[in-house]
Amino acid sequence: MGGLRRIMKKGLGDMGFNKGGGIINWFPGHMAAATRAIRDRLKLADLVIEVRDSRIPLSSANEDLQSLLTGKRRVIALNKKDLANPNIMHKWVNYFESCNHDCVSINAHSKSSVMKLLELAELKLKEKIIREPTLLVMVVGVPNVGKSALINSIHQIALSRFPVQEKTKRATVGPLPGVTQDISGYKIAHQPSIYVLDTPGVLIPRIPDIETGLKLALAGCVKDSVVGEERIAQYLLAVLNSRSTPLHWKHLNTRMIERSKDELEEKHKFSLKDLLPKKKKPPNTSDVRYIEDIVMEVQCALHVTLSEFDGDLEDENNLESLIELQFEALQKALRIPHKASEARTMVSKKFLTLFRTGKLGPFILDDVPETQHITP
C-alpha cells in the first residue's frame, strides 16, 4: 500500500480525474453578485459564524473571504460532525485553536451542539452586548454546509427564550447546493436586538487544484452535474483504496458469506432513493433492513476487489483498473441491471448517496496540517 500512499501524497487529483471531463465551471453566475453582497454586509457584522464542512475543514474554506474574516470577531463552526470521523475531529479543533481561531464542531440539527456554539458566540460578543442596541451576526460559508439549517436551529433556541410577535419564518434547507439565493435576517434577541443573517453559499471563482474541487464535490458543495457523478465516484473509490478502508471491512465479508444470498436478493425491491434526506416518512423496518443489506454488499464488494487485486498499486493505471473492477462489483452489489444504459451513472449516484448519508462510515477527507511547535 506504500505506493498508494505516495500517490495520495502527490494528490489523488493528479490521477487523471480531469481527463476527458472538459473544463469545470466551479463558479456559477449568481455567485459573483452574492459574493459582492456578502462582502458589503460583512463590514457591518459584529460577529461572523463561518460554517465549514467537518469532512473538509480546509477545503470548505472560502479563501477569498478569509482576509475580510480575519479582521472580524469570528467563530469557525465545523458542521456535519455526525458525518466526520470523531477520532480525528478533536485534532482539527486543536489545529484551528493553535492558529488562534475560535472553533467548535457541531451538528446543526442537534440543539445541544448549537447551544455550545451560541455560548461561544455570546462570549465573543460580551462587551458589545452591554454597549450596543443592535447587533448583527452573519453566517457565511460555501454551499450546502448547513448554514440555513444552523440558522433555523439558532432561531428555534431563540424563540424558546423570548416571545415573538411576528409570524415565525424559516430558512429553506435542502440537500442540494445553491438553495439560499438571497441574504435574509432573523431576529434572535431583543435588548439588545440581535439579528442573524443567512447568506447564499459562495465558492471562489477558481478552485486552486482539482483535488480540492473533487473534495467539495464529494461533500456536496458543488452540483454533481458540474463535475459529473462518475468522476466523483471514481475519486471516492481512489480515496477508499488509498486509505485501505475496504480492508477493514473484512468482518462484514465473513458475515456476508454466512448469510444466504438468495434471501438478500429476493426480498426487497425498494429504491435507494429512500436514503435521501428529503423522505418525510420515517423508514420502516423493511427499508432499514434493505439499506443495511445494500451497505453490507457494497462494503463486501470493495473488500473482495481490493484484497484480491494483484496489480501494482503504485502504478496509476493499475489503480484505475482496480477502480474499473470495483465499478462492476458495485453495479452488482447495488442491484443495477446490466443492460441499464445509464448504469454507470446510476452506480455512481447510489454509491455517492451511501457516502453522503454516512452509511459507509464517518470520514474526514482533508489532512490536519502539521503545526510548528512554538518554543516559549
Q: In whole angstroms, how close is the CB of 148 to Mg ion at the nearest point?
A: 3
Strands 184-189 and 193-198 come out as antiparallel
The entry of ligand GTP, Mg ion, none near residue 242 (CB within 5 to 8 angstroms by kind) is: none
State yes or no: residue 299 binds Mg ion (CB under 5 A): no
Helices 229-242 and 285-308 sit at what angle, rounded to 10 degrees? Answer: 60
Judged by beta carbon, residue 4 or residue 83, the one nearer ligand GTP is: 83
For the CA atoms of the chain, what is the radius of gyration?
22
The site partner of 69 among Mg ion, ligand GTP, none (C-beta below 5 to 8 Å per kind) is none
- How far lies 148's CA from each of 107, 166, 171, 199, 340, in Å? 12, 19, 6, 8, 37
When asked if residue 180 is in the footprint of Mg ion (CB under 5 A), the reply is: yes
Output 5 or 359, the one with its CB closest to ligand GTP. Answer: 359
Smallest separation (angstroms) from ligand GTP to the CB of 19? 29
Is the dihedral angle over the CA atoms 127, 128, 133, 138 positive or is it negative?
Answer: negative
Tell me the one-letter amino acid at 318.
Answer: N
Q: Which of 35, 105, 148, 242 is close enough to bind Mg ion by CB under 5 A?
A: 148
Q: What is the nearest approach in angstroms of Mg ion to the Cβ of residue 181?
A: 9
In this complex, which beta carbon is closest to Mg ion, that of residue 74 or of residue 147? 147
Q: Which residues of this chain interact with ligand GTP, rule CB under 6 A?
A: 79-80, 82-83, 107-109, 141, 143-149, 173-175, 177-180, 200-201, 277
- 78 and 57 Cβ atoms separated by less than 8 Å: yes
The option from ligand GTP, Mg ion, none interacting with 71 (CB < 5 to 8 A, set by class) reads none
Choose from Mg ion, ligand GTP, none: what does 21 bind? Cβ within 5-8 Å by kind.
none
Of 1, 5, 26, whose CA–CA distance to 217 is shortest? 26
Residue bearing cell 458475515? 255
Peptide bond into 175 cis (omega under 30): no
Judged by CB, which is closer to Mg ion: 145, or 252? Answer: 145
**69/139 with CB nearer Mg ion:** 139
Residue 77 CB, nearest approach to Mg ion (Å): 14
| CB 222 to ligand GTP: min, Å | 11
The minimum distance between CB 47 and ligand GTP, in angstroms, equals 18
Instruction: Say how far apart CA 197 and CA 137 lie, in whole Å.
Output: 6
Type and span of the H or E element at 134: strand 134-140
Which residue, 98 or 181, has its beta carbon nearer to Mg ion? 181
How many CB atoms within 10 Å of residue 88? Answer: 16
State the residue for C-alpha cell 446543526. 108
Residue type at 315 in one-letter notation: D
